[in-house]
Amino acid sequence: MVVLTYADKGDLRDYLSSNFCNLNWEKKLTLLYTLSKDLFPIHNAGYTHGDFHSGNILQLSNKSDLNDDIIASSAPASYAAIQYVPNLDTDICSYIADLGLSAPKGKLNDEVYGVLPYVAPEVLRGDPYTAAADIYSFGIVMTEVSTGRPPFKDYPFDISLALKINKGLRPEFAEGTPECYIKLANQCMDNDSSKRPRIKRIQAILFNWRNIIQGMQGILGDSSAEEIKIKKEFEASDKIIPIFTTTLQKHQEVYRSQRIPNLINYDDEVQKKSSNATDSLENFSISDFD
């Protein structure tokens, strides 16, 4: 018999849908920080998650000392100087679930599997799944935390969307989202996987912002002026009353993980169908490759 902790707040997608209007940036950053903390040991062990999306991120009430906090050591301020100490003061934490596709970094799968908006463009092109692909998915989750809405909710999840993602299409951010937050999320979603930050860096930045919002000194050595700017950006964003609806588009069922044709296979399929003049990109869908 296996006994597991019950996720009393559901998954992140449902939690945002039900609670978004009551979440300030301190709480949003806490959700993301605890999420980064949970992803770190996976990457540190040489593994990737492989199916990272908000439906696989569980929300639990923090009723015990399950979480860790971080502070800077006396060494020069940088994320490499972060040390762990117990007890992050928060009422809810994020935990990663569904490690069924977790594998050693760089393992090449014959098929792409996941939720299309969260899949990194290089994976769609047939490249091996790496830790950087998880970081891309983390950036997509950051857009979701900004807006309270699933990514690309108005798009059908078909090959046309996959091609747009490959060319640089990314989800939008909510009005008033702090520029520093947008910058980090865009770095995570960079089309060049080598330019994406590592999870340890993300973890340190999120905790740094949370400290600044709470009126404490940051941990990354920012100037006082920069910390004041960051604090004002998050405070200004909290004053914007979010206009939120739980209505999803008609394709909402595809937020479940499923097999996705990679773009290499798509090119092969186009070659086979090139004699048919009526074929077009827009007419292809994921079902064409089943």
> What is the dihedral angle through the alpha carbons of 221, 227, 231, 232, rounded to the nearest 10 degrees?
-160
CA distance 44 to 290: 35
Return the CATH number at 104.
1.10.510.10
Assess if residue 6 is contained within a domain. Answer: no
Q: How many domains does the chain have?
A: 1
Write b or e for each residue in 250-271: b if 16 or more Cβ atoms lie within 10 A of its Cβ, otherwise e.
Answer: eeeebbebeebbbbeebeebee
pLDDT computed for residue 222 by the predictor: 74
Residue that wins the pLDDT comparison between 87 and 35: 35
Position 141 confidence tier, pLDDT thresholds 50, 70, 90: very high
| Residue in the structure block whose two tokens are 């994020």 | 94
Q: In what helix (H) or strand (E) does residue 37 lie, and over which residues does it extend?
A: helix 25-44
Residue that wins the pLDDT comparison between 83 and 17: 17
Is a pLDDT exceeding 90 seen at residue 132? yes
* 81 Cβ neighbours under 8 A, 6+ residues apart: 72, 73, 75
Assess if residue 210 is contained within a domain. Answer: yes
Residue that wins the pLDDT comparison between 169 and 20: 169
- How large is the average pLDDT for residues 2-26? 78
Residue that wins the pLDDT comparison between 80 and 165: 165
pLDDT computed for residue 39 by the predictor: 94
Assess if residue 4 is contained within a domain. Answer: no
Assess if residue 5 is contained within a domain. Answer: no
Q: What angle do CA 203, 90, 181 make, to 5 degrees?
A: 40
pLDDT computed for residue 201 by the predictor: 96
Range of the domain at 189: 12-289
pLDDT computed for residue 216 by the predictor: 85
Assess if residue 2 is contained within a domain. Answer: no
Is a pLDDT exceeding 60 seen at residue 124? yes
Q: Both tokens of residue 280? A: 């077009």
Assess if residue 161 is contained within a domain. Answer: yes
Q: Both tokens of residue 271? A: 């070659």
Residue that wins the pLDDT comparison between 104 and 282: 104
Position 287 confidence tier, pLDDT thresholds 50, 70, 90: very low
Per-residue model confidence as pLDDT tens digits over 34-77: 999 999 999 999 999 888 999 888 887 765 443 444 433 333 33
Per-residue model confidence as pLDDT tens digits over 148-202: 999 998 899 888 999 999 999 999 999 999 999 999 999 999 999 999 999 999 9
pLDDT computed for residue 21 by the predictor: 86
Q: What is the DSSP string of 14-30?
A: HHHHHHGGG--HHHHHH
Is a pLDDT exceeding 80 seen at residue 90? no
pLDDT computed for residue 224 by the predictor: 86
- How large is the average pLDDT for residues 69-90? 39
- How large is the average pLDDT for residues 138-151? 96
Average pLDDT, the chain: 77
Is a pLDDT exceeding 80 seen at residue 270? no
- How large is the average pLDDT for residues 262-286? 52
Assess if residue 3 is contained within a domain. Answer: no
